[in-house]
């Protein structure tokens, strides 16, 4: 491998962003329909921007405070640097920018999709999928460009210019500083996913409770003051939230693999920094082949299957990336066998790990599809139970959701086990990177859903011809399936990302074992497993409170603004948008604080091994609760939708408005915060706690004074013995010579 090969990586990111720009301009050039269509669409676009601005304002405080803390803490230990604050800010900015791109294109593509649906289904698919592609390519492109260029800078500064060892402390420092990028990205994801999840459901429930139930007006009625907030919510939650979530996973997975790659890197063995740059290059390849495969997503006739077109694109990107990975691995890694902790480490095994990751991701999506699709056993069982009432519908959904955790957990366990057997912890991590490689395509398919959904809403509000609505409905139905599989992919990626980060954390913190035979580590595991339950409880309760604020505002507008119901006065849409925005930001503080503080406090108070136990607990229980809530919610949703065409239960056919249908609506309402708020937030929780742990790892490292690094001015640790100083040691004490000095002090 040529040394200058590392410059190829940011170049791939730039190519991606240029393609994105071209696709964005293409979308904007499409016809956007008549004035009335544009008016409503522009309300949504402005509302979405209002949310982003409010979010950014709070975020800017958070980012500044966090950056100062990171800057300070970066000075404390040798294998970090204050520069970490800069990569944190860049990461946060890149993530926010990716969200902005996605929201901008989604709120433009929706009305253009509606207009295109007047012509043909093929055209409507082209517009909506291209809109989704902009989001997907933007996220992946920014990640590859950001990580790639920052790495080059830090590699030059910390390793090349110091003549440092690529396998040593210098490289560890370069990667630790780069980890700030990932923390920045994931922090934004916390706001976008958790805040966005609360926003979307508060607006939805608020709009429905007063509009549909009290005022008796249909969904998406322009007279409902909360209707714009509701539509904004779809974009905020499903587009920006999902985008930030996957951006975070993508970056964190690559980063964790790089950190683990350092261990196998060496100038004189296994191709220099090959293992470090491999995950970035695979991501770059995945981006390019996702773009190539997007060309497969097209139909020619009205009767062609949209789902098949999307599947073709998806599998195309997976297979092309897998094939390309083979050559990439062959080029970057040398054909030698390395012995690491009893493993035979070869490039062939690395390649198989990547393939294993791709397979795990695909299986997880398939299982999700099975448990949440109409017409399959799980959803049918809920439909049938709706006939005996609200309670049996709920029990059925909970049972299905719990059952649906079994296969994914076995697949995940097999993936961990298999990739570890192949290539150790690097194998686990590169498997995750392989799975995430086609993120651009996954996200394009994901973001296509809400665009089609919104397009259908616009068609409905403007009472366009049945033909047009037929086309948007068809796209919307496909979008519902992709939404479910997208969630399966997101939780699988979060799980593997957390494991990769977990492995990286163990490496950096210098722990060799996480022994749950020790009572304190086991206690950490127990408390960790509880955190996702507490987090879910807070998220669900938050939706309830935020929805109540919305209900009160909508009631006030109906009461105080005369003429709304007669279309004579326009409701104050902005106030509802503002209420939802404010409530969501207020309500995400407590869960956010839990995600950030739990690992920090545990790490500093009890040390890295207890923190490791806690991370395992959070990850296991978080993945389970995430799958349970996503799938139960998805299954309830489609059980309700089954009634639209009529379902036969015990020889009787039931339609909408029947008693069983009412029971299914209850299930769907319970499932809403499950699948759109607390379920997806599990992804963020497990990743954020892991990334925070990785960031604090150098401070609590066993290699450098134990769990009391911040107390080091007064206490030092040699081996297992705690030594007190009567006088604070100078800062330079925080170097390897520290222990020697301590030793002298002791003597």
- 139 lies in the site for a second copy, by CB under 8 A: no
Distance in Å, CB of 155 to a second copy, minimum: 28
By C-beta, is 78 or 520 nearer to a second copy? 520
Contact flags string 659-698 toward a second copy, x per CB under 8 A: ------xxx-xx--x-------------------------
- 550 lies in the site for a second copy, by CB under 8 A: no
Among 516, 595, 635, 697, binds a second copy (CB under 8 A): 516
Query: Residue 296 is encoded by which pair of tokens?
Result: 């497969």
By C-beta, is 52 or 614 nearer to a second copy? 614
DSSP string, 186-247: HHHHIIIIIIHHHHHHHHHHHHIIIIIIII-PPTT-TT-TTHHHHHHHHIIIIIIIHHHHHH
Which residue stretch of 157-165, 311-319, 363-371, 533-541 sits at the interface with a second copy (rule: CB under 8 A)?
Answer: 533-541
Which residue stretch of 312-320, 349-357, 469-477, 622-630 sits at the interface with a second copy (rule: CB under 8 A)?
Answer: 622-630
Q: Kind of pairing, strands 715-718 and 721-724?
A: antiparallel
Among 327, 533, 655, 714, binds a second copy (CB under 8 A): 533
DSSP string, 581-616: HHHHHHHTHHHHHHHHHHHHHHHHHH-HHHHHHHHH
Distance in Å, CB of 669 to a second copy, minimum: 3
By C-beta, is 205 or 244 nearer to a second copy? 205
Positions in 357-386 near a second copy (CB under 8 A):
385
Query: Residue 409 is encoded by which pair of tokens?
Result: 């957990």
Q: Total residues contacting a second copy (rule CB under 8 A)?
A: 74
By C-beta, is 6 or 620 nearer to a second copy? 620
| Secondary structure letter of residue 157 according to DSSP | I
- Measured between alpha carbons, how far is residue 264 from residues 163, 170, 553 in Å? 19, 15, 59
Torsion, CA 88, CA 93, CA 96, CA 97, rounded to 10: -150
- Measured between alpha carbons, how far is residue 708 from residues 180, 280, 520, 603, 714 in Å? 22, 34, 17, 9, 9
- 344 lies in the site for a second copy, by CB under 8 A: no
- 390 lies in the site for a second copy, by CB under 8 A: yes
Backbone angles phi, psi at 564, to 5 degrees: -60, -50
Distance in Å, CB of 425 to a second copy, minimum: 8
Contact 52, 100 (CB under 8 A): yes
- 544 lies in the site for a second copy, by CB under 8 A: yes
Contacts of 99 (CB under 8 A, 6+ apart): 52, 188, 192, 240, 243, 244
Work out the burial of residue 300: count CB atoms within 10 Å of its CB; fewer than 13 is exposed, 13-18 middle, 19 or more buried: exposed
Contact flags string 167-206 toward a second copy, x per CB under 8 A: ----------------------------------------
Residue whose structure tokens are 């970056």? 251
End-to-end CA distance of the chain: 51
DSSP string, 663-689: HHHHHHHHHHHIIIIIHHHHHHHHHHH
Q: Kind of pairing, strands 652-654 and 647-649?
A: antiparallel
By C-beta, is 405 or 600 nearer to a second copy? 405
Which residue stretch of 257-265, 463-471, 537-545, 703-711 sits at the interface with a second copy (rule: CB under 8 A)?
Answer: 537-545
Give the chain's radius of gyration (CA, Å). 26
Contact flags string 474-503 toward a second copy, x per CB under 8 A: -------------------------x----
Distance in Å, CB of 311 to a second copy, minimum: 28
- 275 lies in the site for a second copy, by CB under 8 A: no
Backbone angles phi, psi at 723, to 5 degrees: -120, 130
Contact flags string 409-438 toward a second copy, x per CB under 8 A: xx-xxx-xx-xxx---x--x----------
Which residue stretch of 146-154, 392-400, 574-582, 651-659 sits at the interface with a second copy (rule: CB under 8 A)?
Answer: 392-400
- 356 lies in the site for a second copy, by CB under 8 A: no
Contacts of 463 (CB under 8 A, 6+ apart): none
Residue whose structure tokens are 């009412």? 662
- 733 lies in the site for a second copy, by CB under 8 A: no
Which residue stretch of 39-47, 109-117, 154-162, 512-520 sits at the interface with a second copy (rule: CB under 8 A)?
Answer: 512-520
Among 59, 278, 329, 623, binds a second copy (CB under 8 A): 623
Distance in Å, CB of 656 to a second copy, minimum: 17
Beta strands (DSSP E) in 232-365 are: 338-340, 343-345
Among 335, 339, 519, 727, binds a second copy (CB under 8 A): 519
Distance in Å, CB of 101 to a second copy, minimum: 34
Distance in Å, CB of 620 to a second copy, minimum: 4
Contact 500, 252 (CB under 8 A): yes
Which residue stretch of 3-11, 97-105, 262-270, 538-546 sits at the interface with a second copy (rule: CB under 8 A)?
Answer: 538-546
Contact 664, 657 (CB under 8 A): no
């Amino acid at each position: 491998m040529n040394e200058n090969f590392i410059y190829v990586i940011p170049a791939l990111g730039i190519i991606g962003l240029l393609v994105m720009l071209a696709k964005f301009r293409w979308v904007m050039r499409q016809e956007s329909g008549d004035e009335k269509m544009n008016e409503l669409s522009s309300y949504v676009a402005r509302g979405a921007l209002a949310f982003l601005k409010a979010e950014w304002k709070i975020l800017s405080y958070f980012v500044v405070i966090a950056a100062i803390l990171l800057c300070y803490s970066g000075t404390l230990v040798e294998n970090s640097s204050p520069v970490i604050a800069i990569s944190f800010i860049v990461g946060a900015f890149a993530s926010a920018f990716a969200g902005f791109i996605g929201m901008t294109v989604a709120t433009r593509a929706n009305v253009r999709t509606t207009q295109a649906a007047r012509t043909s289904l093929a055209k409507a698919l082209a517009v909506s999928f291209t809109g989704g592609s902009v989001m997907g390519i933007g996220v992946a492109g920014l990640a590859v460009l950001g990580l790639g260029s920052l790495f080059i800078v830090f590699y030059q500064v910390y390793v090349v210019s110091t003549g440092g060892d690529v396998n040593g402390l210098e490289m560890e420092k370069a990667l630790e500083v780069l980890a700030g990028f990932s923390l920045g990205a994931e922090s934004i994801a916390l706001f976008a996913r958790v805040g966005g999840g609360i926003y979307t459901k508060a607006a939805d429930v608020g709009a429905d409770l007063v509009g549909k139930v009290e005022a008796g007006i249909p969904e998406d009625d322009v007279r409902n003051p909360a209707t714009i907030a509701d539509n904004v919510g779809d974009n905020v939650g499903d587009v920006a939230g999902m985008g930030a979530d996957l951006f975070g996973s993508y970056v964190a997975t690559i980063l964790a693999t790089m950190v683990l790659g350092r261990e196998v890197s060496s100038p004189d063995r296994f191709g220099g920094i090959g293992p470090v740059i491999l995950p970035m290059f695979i991501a770059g390849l995945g981006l390019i082949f996702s773009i190539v495969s997007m060309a497969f997503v097209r139909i020619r006739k009205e009767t062609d299957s949209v789902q098949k077109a999307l599947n073709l694109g998806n599998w195309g990107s997976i297979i092309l990336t897998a094939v390309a990975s083979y050559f990439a691995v062959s080029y970057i890694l040398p054909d030698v066998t390395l012995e690491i902790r009893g493993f035979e480490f070869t490039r062939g095994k690395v390649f198989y790990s990547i393939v294993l990751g791709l397979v795990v991701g695909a299986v997880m999506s398939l299982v999700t599809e099975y448990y949440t699709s109409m017409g399959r056993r799980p959803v049918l069982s809920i439909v049938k139970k709706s006939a005996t009432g609200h309670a049996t519908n709920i029990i059925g959904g909970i049972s299905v959701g719990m059952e649906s955790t079994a296969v994914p957990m076995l697949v995940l366990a097999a993936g961990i086990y298999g990739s570890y057997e192949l290539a150790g912890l690097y194998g686990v991590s590169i498997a995750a990177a392989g799975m995430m490689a086609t993120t651009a395509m996954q996200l394009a398919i994901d973001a296509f859903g809400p665009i089609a959904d919104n397009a259908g809403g616009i068609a409905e509000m403007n009472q366009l011809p049945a033909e047009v609505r037929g086309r948007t409905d068809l796209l919307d139905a496909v979008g519902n399936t992709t939404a479910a599989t997208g969630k399966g992919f997101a939780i699988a990626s979060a799980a593997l990302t957390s494991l990769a980060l977990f492995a990286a954390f163990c490496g950096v913190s210098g722990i060799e074992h996480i022994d749950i035979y020790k009572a304190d580590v086991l206690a950490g595991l127990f408390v960790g497993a509880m955190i996702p339950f507490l987090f879910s409880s807070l998220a669900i309760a938050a939706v309830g409170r935020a929805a109540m604020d919305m209900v009160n505002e909508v009631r006030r507008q109906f009461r105080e603004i005369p003429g709304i119901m007669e279309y004579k006065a326009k409701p104050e849409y902005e106030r509802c948008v503002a209420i939802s925005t404010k409530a969501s930001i207020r309500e995400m503080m407590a869960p956010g604080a839990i995600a950030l503080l739990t690992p920090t406090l545990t790490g500093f108070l009890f040390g890295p091994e207890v923190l490791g136990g806690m991370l395992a607990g959070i990850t296991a229980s978080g993945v389970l609760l995430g799958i349970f809530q996503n799938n139960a919610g998805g299954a309830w949703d489609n059980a309700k939708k089954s009634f639209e065409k009529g379902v036969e239960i015990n020889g009787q056919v039931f339609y909408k408005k029947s008693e069983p249908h009412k029971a299914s609506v209850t299930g769907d309402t319970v499932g809403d915060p499950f699948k759109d708020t607390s379920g997806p937030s599990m992804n963020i929780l497990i990743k954020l706690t892991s990334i925070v742990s990785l960031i604090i790892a150098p401070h609590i490292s066993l290699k450098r004074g134990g769990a009391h690094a911040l107390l080091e001015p007064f206490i030092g640790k040699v081996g297992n013995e705690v030594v007190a100083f009567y006088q604070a040691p100078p800062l330079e004490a925080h170097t390897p010579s520290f222990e020697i000095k301590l030793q002298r002090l002791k003597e």
